Amino acid sequence: MTISVLGTGNMGKALVKQAAAYTGGRVLWGSRNPGEAAELARSFGLADQVEVVTYEEALQADIIIPAFPAAAILDWALTHQEKIKHKIIVDISNPFNEDFSGFTTQWGESSAERLQSILPESKVIGAFKNTFFKVFENPVFEDQKSDVLVTGDDEEAVSQFIEIFKPLPFRFIHAGKLANNRTIERFTLLELELAVRYGTYPYISLQLFGIKEAVPAS
Ligand SMILES: NC(=O)c1ccc[n+]([C@@H]2O[C@H](COP(=O)([O-])OP(=O)(O)OC[C@H]3O[C@@H](n4cnc5c(N)ncnc54)[C@H](OP(=O)(O)O)[C@@H]3O)[C@@H](O)[C@H]2O)c1
């Protein structure tokens, strides 16, 4: 199984470290500037575990995580529709507007659904939307793992994603259909407000109370 992380921003760095450390798969790291990404990989001690590639080369992976701003993901998807057919595309985006006062999506839509509609033959999974980048450095808070809500309209793809990512030090929760991202994405903006109010920004994520198993029995 090959996983590619696209982008060397806050989330790209965090996700590539986790994928290399825990998934056991081949990990590709794509960037507009592979030279700088290679330097970063060396500085993280990942030179032997991660293959730095162009965005084009990163499309060969089975699971692709575009860690771009939400609008850039849509442009990327429109350009590569054909090449990423049938693959699992992990959407981590929150479609905030420029001043973080609201969203670029309307009520009743989510960026995950928007992406799936552009990529009808790919399997879009929503994940990590509520996990702020700093949390990846320490996903366990007061003895409880950070939760990651995993959504998707293709059940097999959701199960496959959870199976591959469950060694990471997070608790992965099957959170239903992609339409649930209408709530999940909006909740992230509330988290941001709370993190600022309580002085923890950018360390904030979800920990849900009452769920024992990450994957429901049926
Ligand atoms: N930051 C968080 O805590 C957080 C939490 C949950 C979800 N998210 C979501 O994760 C995604 C990435 O967020 P981030 O904070 O990692 O962003 P970021 O730090 O701004 O990094 C974005 C990266 O995307 C790549 N990129 C490709 N096309 C781009 C374009 N047209 N404009 C700008 N960057 C482009 C760049 O990497 P290269 O230069 O290497 O190509 C850039 O470093 C967003 O969709 C965000 O909503 C973020």
Residue 185 forms part of a structural domain: yes
Q: What are the pLDDT digits (tens) for 154-205?
A: 999 999 999 999 999 999 999 999 999 999 999 999 999 999 999 999 999 9
Phi/psi at 84 (5° precision): -105, 15
Q: Of all atoms in ligand 1, which is nearest to the CA of residue 93?
A: 45
Atom of ligand 1 nearest to the CA of 30: 40
- The per-residue pLDDT of the chain, averaged, comes to 96
21, exposed or middle or buried, with CB in 10 Å at 0-12, 13-18, 19+?
Answer: middle
Residue 206 in domain:
no
Question: Which ligand 1 atom is at minimum distance from the Cα of 132?
Answer: 3
Question: What's the CATH code of the domain at 48?
Answer: 3.40.50.720
Asked if residue 4 has its Cβ within 6 Å of ligand 1, the reply is: no
Domain count, the chain: 1
Our answer on whether the CB atom of 32 is closer than 6 Å to any ligand 1 atom is yes
User: Is residue 57 domain-resident?
Assistant: yes
Inter-residue contact 24 to 169 (CB < 8 Å): no
The domain in which residue 50 lies consists of: 2-197
In a domain, 135, yes or no: yes
Identify whether 218 is part of a domain.
no
List residues bridging with 152 in a β-sheet. 125
Q: Dump pLDDT digits (tens) for 76-99.
A: 999 999 999 999 999 999 999 999
Q: Is 55 in the pocket of ligand 1 (CB under 6 A)?
A: no
Taking the C-alpha atoms of residue 30 and residue 123, their distance in angstroms, rounded to an integer, is 20
Q: Please tell me the distance between residue 70's alpha carbon and the centre of ligand 1 in angstroms.
A: 8
- Give domain status of residue 24, yes or no: yes
